[in-house]
Amino acid sequence: MKPVIVLLVSMAWALTRAQYYYQGLMDYLENRMLAIEDRMELWHEQSHRYHTELRDFKKLAAEIMDRLGKEHVSLLQDLEGAAARVERMEREMDYVETWTSPRACVNMVDKVVEQGAWSVDERKEEEEEEEEWEEVHSRVSDCVDLISSIRSVKILKRVGGPKGMWIRDPKTSKVYAFNGTSGDTIYQFNSVLDFSRSPGVNHSRLIRLPSLWSGTGGAVYNGNLYYIKQRTDAEVQVAKYSLLSGLLMDTAMFPADSYAPVYSLNPETIADLAADDEGLWLLYAISESEPNIHLAKMDPETLDIEQMWDTRCPRENAEAAFIICGTVYVVYNTRLASRSRVQCVFDVNDMVVSEEAPLLYFPRRYGAHASLKYNPEEKQLYAWDDGYQILYRLTMKRKLLV
């Protein structure tokens, strides 16, 4: 009986210990669950706060973006208005410059001709002035056109490199393009319209010249192409190429002592050939140390130099030049490209000087002119500006005899 009692007591004691153990385990688990619930509640509170702050931030950012968008539109409108005012001011400046440019000095003969007032008491003076008129008329050219203003601008297209030259032959209406500043190939188009419709210079008739050309100083005159041969030694030559027969007709030595560029802003152009109503001209620099641009009248048949002048127009900051009726118009700019302007004028007949010529500004475009070529029949300039081909239509007036 005693062993049974001992067994029962042992079992009771074991059950009691197990009950205490499981009770402690349950208390521990319950405490852990409460701690997890507290942390979950804290996480929910923080998540709600973060969500609220994010929503407020999105709302604030949307308001700021909306305000910035409105300010951007307002600023853009202000800039457009400023650009329009600047353009209007430039037009007004050009208009004022056109109408307020100094009038060339005239002698008594010109005043009599302009006024048409002949007094009965001045019969003797009239005869003397008529004789003087005949003397003056005999020493000037029949071509007396002078630029008055730039009437219109037409940006034809953009093709080729930033520098080049294009010109229309007045006799055949064909267009010739020199892409770049050197090569042995030029591109021929049947007309300006054909050139404007072409997708590129390669979609044309290619003319391969017998020698390399250099710079953007070529010219077309009486069915012939005149260009500066690329330097191969110390000599620089002018070449005459027949566009009809495709043969090199003649070459002539360049009248300079060094390979100096004629325009400081286009150093690739060693010389610039130009054709107008009076014939073929050559603009060049004698040497690097010579500050002025020089001019030569050439025989288009033999390439002989007929006469030479010092234009007194500086090479510094010059970008291009063109010739109309024996008058040289030198276009200047800055190394940081701005508005091109005709700042120096030289007339071979001494009928116009820079101080008496109208101050001309070219409309602001892309960069600086690589070339400017005059067409005497159309009264237009063919310009190459940073790869853009531009037509400037000119308004002309008559020179006043001095």
pLDDT above 50 (res 317): yes
pLDDT band at 295 (very low <50, low <70, confident <90, very high): very high
Calculate the alpha carbon distances from 385 to 10, 43, 84 in Å.
113, 68, 23
pLDDT above 80 (res 161): yes
Q: Are 217 and 272 in contact (CB under 8 A)?
A: yes
pTM score:
0.66
Cβ neighbours of residue 367 under 8 Å, at least 6 residues apart?
A: 162, 337, 385, 386
Topology annotation, domain 142-398? Lipocalin (2.40.128)
The residues facing 322 across adjacent strands are: 329
Q: What is the pLDDT of residues 81-111, one digit of tens each?
A: 887 787 677 666 655 554 444 333 333 333 3
- What's the whole-number mean pLDDT along residues 281-293? 90
Find the radius of gyration of the CA atoms of the chain.
42
Q: What is the pLDDT of residues 200-212, one digit of tens each?
A: 777 788 999 998 9
User: What is the per-residue pLDDT for 232?
Assistant: 60
Q: What is the pLDDT of residues 248-269, one digit of tens each?
A: 999 988 766 667 899 999 999 9
Q: What is the pLDDT of residues 341-350, one digit of tens each?
A: 898 999 998 8
pLDDT band at 23 (very low <50, low <70, confident <90, very high): confident
pLDDT above 80 (res 21): no
Helix axes 108-115 and 123-138, enclosed angle (nearest 10): 110
Q: DSSP secondary structure string, 330-383? A: EEE--SS----EEEEEEETTSS-BTTTSPPEEPPP-SS-EEEEEEETTTTEEEE
Residue 159, phi then psi, degrees to nearest 5: -150, 145
User: What is the per-residue pLDDT for 30?
Assistant: 85
Structure token digits, residue 52: 């609220």
CB count in 10 Å sphere of residue 12:
10
Q: Is 326 exposed, middle or buried (0-12, 13-18, 19+ CB in 10 A)?
A: buried
Q: What is the pLDDT of residues 165-185, one digit of tens each?
A: 999 998 888 999 999 999 999
Highest-confidence segment of 48-52, 123-127, 316-320: 316-320
User: What is the per-residue pLDDT for 140?
Assistant: 39
Per the model's pLDDT, the better-predicted residue between 121 and 157 turns out to be 157
